[in-house]
């Protein structure tokens, strides 16, 4: 079974689309949460979101191939740019790997349904004209569902990179990107691929998307400055903050990476997945599904709990998730749980929904590679039910021989990835 290495990483988040910029800002505890500017959000009781700035989007359009730059869907643009960055970071260009043994696996959200996609085909008396609609799909909004099905990012990345091997698109909510990365690792382990671009991309910063989280009662409606909205593990936390963006990594077999003399960021050592089977919109309050996910990932990695120094938590800042995740970590790590550093990337970039596991895995890999841990921002009033070391407000230099990254999704889907130092 081949060892799986992380040789390239790229991301687009509210902290930036350059890996080093985003990492330095995360270490500084900066927030990318700001008032929404991509649409008129004044009627929504939300102070801000982890939105990628308009100037950043224009810059990434300029970096993409001419035929890809006009893409209308934000998450597709983010995915393409993150994939481009990951391949460049790995020192590869499209066409430099065996296309039949190179794959693409991406987690993505369901595409956007827009009212304007249907309104022109609705008459006052006859209702919706489905026949005319089917013949005029090209007239629908360029960022709507009908021109951007969930698999579009996967397909475009594969076409651009020339990767014709194993492929998958996962739409399993907040667990999607983590599952895509885990499946990419397994494809390499099984000998089905030498290299896989994998990760996730999503954007729900649009009227329907934001309204969904408000209707679920999951979004923070606190009347505070945007930077202070997301407060994981804090007693005054009031809900998640929606973010957007993408993260893509290049995984390679150790043999393939050695053959080309690749630089290695870290090893991807283990993958665990589980289902709460509890409730669609709430985690198991005892964290049993999350604990199984972590335990399975450690078993898959062949590691004992005491070998882990850092946990990049799912850390949503919701009333239900944070104590449940704390209980799960305590169950898995036992007495050594108090020795762990635990922090939440979402406190700075928001919740990237289907994409969240990818940038967070990248931050985890950087922690392992560089022995630094970014803080949990806005942790000022610790909740007594959240009693671990959450690295409040200031980054920390510490040995990180191995770490885990958690992603726990709606419907009770859980994913944990284990990262270890490069040999």
Query: Looking at the annotation, which residues are catalytic?
Result: 174, 314, 351
What's the number of CA atoms in the CB half-sphere (13 Å) around residue 233? 27
Sequence-distant (≥ 6) Cβ neighbours of residue 103 within 8 angstroms: 163, 165, 166, 167, 184, 187, 192, 193, 195, 196, 197, 198
- Cα 45 from chain centroid? 25
Note whether 110 and 178 are within 8 A (CB). no
Note whether 246 and 76 are within 8 A (CB). no
Nearest-angstrom CA–CA distance, 323 and 288: 12
Nearest-angstrom CA–CA distance, 24 and 374: 9
Note whether 317 and 347 are within 8 A (CB). yes
The token duo for 227 is 């930077």
Tokens 């928001």 found at:
350
User: Helix, strand, coil % (nearest 5) of the chain?
Assistant: 40, 25, 40
Tokens 């995915």 found at:
79
Cβ atoms within 10 Å, residue 147: 19
Start-end of H helices in 274-353: 288-301, 321-333, 346-349
The token duo for 164 is 């014709």
């Amino acid at each position: 079974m081949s060892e799986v290495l992380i040789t390239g990483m790229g991301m687009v988040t509210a902290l930036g689309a350059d890996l080093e910029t985003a990492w330095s800002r995360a270490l500084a505890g900066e927030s990318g949460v700001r008032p929404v500017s991509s649409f008129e959000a004044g009627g929504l009781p939300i102070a801000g979101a982890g939105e990628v700035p308009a100037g950043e989007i224009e810059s990434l359009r300029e970096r993409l191939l001419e035929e890809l730059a006009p893409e209308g869907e934000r998450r597709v643009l983010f995915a393409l740019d993150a994939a481009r960055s990951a391949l460049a970071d790995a020192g590869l260009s499209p066409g430099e790997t065996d296309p039949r043994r190179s794959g693409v696996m991406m987690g993505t959200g369901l595409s956007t349904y827009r009212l304007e996609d249907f309104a022109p085909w609705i008459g006052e008396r006859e209702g919706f004209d489905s026949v005319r609609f089917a013949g005029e799909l090209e007239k629908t909004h360029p960022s709507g569902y009908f021109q951007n099905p969930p698999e579009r990012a996967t397909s475009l990345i594969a076409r651009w990179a020339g990767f014709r091997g194993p492929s998958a698109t996962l739409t399993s909510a907040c667990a999607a990107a983590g599952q895509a990365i885990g499946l990419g690792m397994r494809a390499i382990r099984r000998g089905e691929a030498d290299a896989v671009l994998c990760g996730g991309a999503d954007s729900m910063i649009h009227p329907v998307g934001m309204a969904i989280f408000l209707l679920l009662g999951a979004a923070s409606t606190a009347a505070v400055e945007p930077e202070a909205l997301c407060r994981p593990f804090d007693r005054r936390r009031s809900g998640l903050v929606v973010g957007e963006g993408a993260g893509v990594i290049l995984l390679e077999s150790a043999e393939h990476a050695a053959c080309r003399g690749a630089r290695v960021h870290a090893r991807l050592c283990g993958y665990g997945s589980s289902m709460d089977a509890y409730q669609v919109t709430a985690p198991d309050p005892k964290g049993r599904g999350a604990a199984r996910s972590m335990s399975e990932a450690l078993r898959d990695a062949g590691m004992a709990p005491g070998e882990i120094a850092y946990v990049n938590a799912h850390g949503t800042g919701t009333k239900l998730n944070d104590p449940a995740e704390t209980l799960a970590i305590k169950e898995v790590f036992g007495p050594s749980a108090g020795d762990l550093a635990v922090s939440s990337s979402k406190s700075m970039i928001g919740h990237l929904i289907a994409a969240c596991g990818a940038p967070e895995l990248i931050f985890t890999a950087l922690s392992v590679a560089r022995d630094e841990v970014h803080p949990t921002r806005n942790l000022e009033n610790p909740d007594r039910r959240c009693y671990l070391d959450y690295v409040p407000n200031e980054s920390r230099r510490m040995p990180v021989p191995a770490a885990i990254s958690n992603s726990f999704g709606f419907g009770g889907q859980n994913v944990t990835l284990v990262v270890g130092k490069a040999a």
